[in-house]
Amino acid sequence: AQKVTQAQTEISVVEKEDVTLDCVYETRDTTYYLFWYKQPPSGELVFLIRRNSFDEQNEISGRYSWNFQKSTSSFNFTITASQVVDSAVYFCALRSYNTDKLIFGTGTRLQVFP
């Protein structure tokens, strides 16, 4: 069975703090894809990143960075120097290579206070 766990329901930080959102996944597949999406208060789901299971290289995009560790089945997301505009619900998702279905975690609500 496939499953995505985001244990942190809600995180509150003050602007400029670094924050890490955890994502742990379960799958029996050897080939799969991991995703992060951002859902701001407006409700739209914004794609942030896709990572293939065979590519464990970490990625950095501006203030965002992702740490993929197959050994611990984790795909964590770090925001450096957080800003109020980062306030949103962040979803981690998993997809097997042989299906189109995205399995979403329950999301982590991030609140960044000024």
| Alpha carbons 56 and 71: distance in angstroms, whole number | 10
Cα dihedral 110, 71, 104, 106 sign = negative
Give the torsion through C-alpha atoms of 56, 38, 4, 23, to 10 deg: 50
Give least dist CB 55 to another protein, A.
13
Q: Which stretch binds another protein (CB under 8 A): 12-20, 33-41, 65-73, 79-87?
A: 33-41
- One of 35, 66, 75, 77 touching another protein (CB under 8 A): 35
- One of 2, 5, 45, 64 touching another protein (CB under 8 A): 45
37 binds another protein (CB under 8 A): yes
Q: Do 92 and 35 contact (CB within 8 A), yes or no?
A: yes
What pairs with residue 49 in β-bridges? 36
77 binds another protein (CB under 8 A): no
* 30 backbone dihedrals φ, ψ, rounded to 5°: -90, -20
Give least dist CB 107 to another protein, A.
6
Contacts with another protein by CB under 8 A lie at: 33, 35, 37, 42-47, 50, 91, 97, 100-102, 104-107
